[in-house]
Chain A
Amino acid sequence: MSLIGNLLAGLGRAQFFLLQILVALPATLLRPRLVIQQLYSVGVLSLIIIVISGSFVGMVLALQGYRTLIRFGAEESLGVFVALVIVRELGPVVTALLFAGRAGSAMAAEIGLMKATDQLSAMEMMATDPMKRVIAPRFLASVLAMPLLACIFSVMAIGIAGGHAIGVELLGVDDGAYWGQIRAAVEAQDVIDSLIKSTIFGIAIAWIAVYQGYHAAPTSEGVSRATTGTVVVSSLAVLALDFILTAFMFR
């Protein structure tokens, strides 16, 4: 009984916290430097893991797809297979999971530690609002970085080092057929859906991470629990949201 009560209370707190973030967001526009600082730590520092993962995911998809398609003599459709799977699903989802593990956990740990070492209360003493100074810039930077990272992941997986490298260079699918089929099959709507998905995932991960950090118990154990909770909850949230969004976008 108390478990359900705790759950509901947590949800309510999180909703209220999101409102506070949204109220604090316009203030961050007056201090773009803070957002740039956070874009560096969540965006630039996540680039390498995103690029490498994108390449590997694309390569694996190309190998697996080729094995199936060759049975039907349809190996020229490899490009379509890789591109649709990546753009519609794997690009946003895998990027979001990596982002949760790489940037979300770091954010939660940092904010949790700030709280544990009383930095947040010190800010309040100095009449600076930690919502505006700490939370909102991180939230905004995450929401901005996610769609960009997802697109970089998709381009790597389809074109540069992933599916194209394996399919065209290694397995000998015709280059023109690869791109031609992709152009014929992938519509602008797919890319727009992909951007919408990754932006929503970015909002979810950022919200969960800053909430967990801000409401962490001010001990080393509390900080570690906030970090773990961020990764677990945001991974589950991403997968659940992905199902809901896909069901909406399903045509």
Chain B
Amino acid sequence: MQSRALEILVGFFVCIGVAAVFVLTFRVASLDSVGTGEGVYRVTAQFQNIGGLKPGSAVTMAGVRVGRVQDIVIDPDTFQARVTLALDGQYDAIPEDSSASILTAGLLGEQYIGLTPGGMLDPLKDGSEIMLTQSALVLENLIGQFLSNMASKQE
């Protein structure tokens, strides 16, 4: 074993190791066709309550994934959650009056955004806002409504 080759191999090993430490620490950026690359346009939507939605969650239409949630912030004026959706460029004809609702996969599953197409001819473009939104169903609120309904029926 040449000592130079040996040093190169050790350097390589240390590099891989340190890279692995970094990857673990910053938790592996998602390698994704829909992300921040080309052919992506961004629209925003405001929700009363996003439940467990996270950046990286799927955006679907009729069950097919058309994009991803890119970022979630609080709107300083309305105090609602402002969600930025990165939509795939090939779906460029989604009507402007489409509605977005936060749905749950399964009972305890991941939350995602479902788009329901509207009927207008103008499509959503980069920077436009989806006006019709439906918040996540929060289980506590549902149970509360159910209980108050029961109580009012009793009277």
Interface residues of A (CB under 8 A from B): 33, 36-37, 39-40, 43-44, 47, 72-77, 87, 145, 147-149, 151-152, 154-155, 158-159, 174-177, 179-184, 186, 188, 191, 194-195
Which of B's residues lie within 8 Å of A, judged by CB? 1, 3, 6-7, 9-10, 12-14, 16-18, 20-21, 23-25, 27-28, 30-32, 54-58, 65, 68, 105-110, 112
Which has the most chain A C-beta neighbours within 10 Å: B1, B30, B112? B30
Q: Is the CB of A175 within 8 A of B21?
A: no
Known contacts A74-B106, A177-B58, A183-B27: does B6 contact A37 (CB below 8 Å)? yes
A180, B17: Cβ atoms closer than 8 Å: no
CB–CB A39/B13 < 8 A: yes
* Residues in B neighbouring A40, C-beta threshold 8 A: 1, 6, 9-10, 13
Which chain B residues lie closer than 8 Å to A77 at the CB level?
Answer: 108-110
> Which of B20, B21, B65, B109 sits near A76, CB closer than 8 Å?
B109
User: Measured between alpha carbons, how far is A148 from B112 in the docked complex, in Å?
Assistant: 36
From B1, B6, B20, B107, contact of A73 by CB (8 A): B107
- Give the CA-CA distance A39 to B13 in the complex, in Å: 9
In the bound complex, do residue B54 and residue A180 qualify as a contact, i.e. CB atoms below 8 Å apart? yes
B-chain residues with CB within 8 Å of residue A184 when the two chains form the complex: 54
Known: A39-B10, A44-B10. 16 other contacts (CB 8 A): A40-B6, A44-B12, A148-B17, A152-B20, A155-B23, A155-B28, A176-B32, A176-B68, A177-B56, A177-B105, A179-B27, A179-B28, A180-B54, A180-B110, A183-B54, A186-B27
Residue in A closest to B15 when the chains form the complex, CB atoms: A148
CB-nearest residue of chain A to B55: A180
C-alpha spacing A174/B64, complex, angstroms: 11
| Chain B neighbourhood of A182, CB < 8 A | 27-28
Closest to A190 in B: B24
Which residues from A are CB-within-8-Å of B56?
176-177, 179-180, 183
Q: Using known A-B contacts A72-B106, A175-B32, determine if residue A151 contacts B24 with beta carbons closer than 8 Å.
A: yes
For the complex, give the distance between the alpha carbons of A176 and B86 in Å.
Answer: 13
The 4 A-B residue pairs with the shortest CB-CB distance in the complex, in nearest-first order = A73-B106, A148-B17, A180-B56, A76-B110
Q: Among the listed B6, B27, B31, B54, which residue makes an inter-chain contact with A36, where contact means beta carbons less than 8 Å apart?
A: B6
Report yes or no: B13 in contact with A159, Cβ–Cβ below 8 A: no
Q: A73, B108: Cβ atoms under 8 Å?
A: yes
Q: List 12 A-B contacts (CB under 8 A).
A: A44-B10, A44-B12, A148-B13, A148-B14, A152-B17, A152-B20, A155-B24, A155-B28, A174-B65, A175-B31, A179-B56, A183-B27
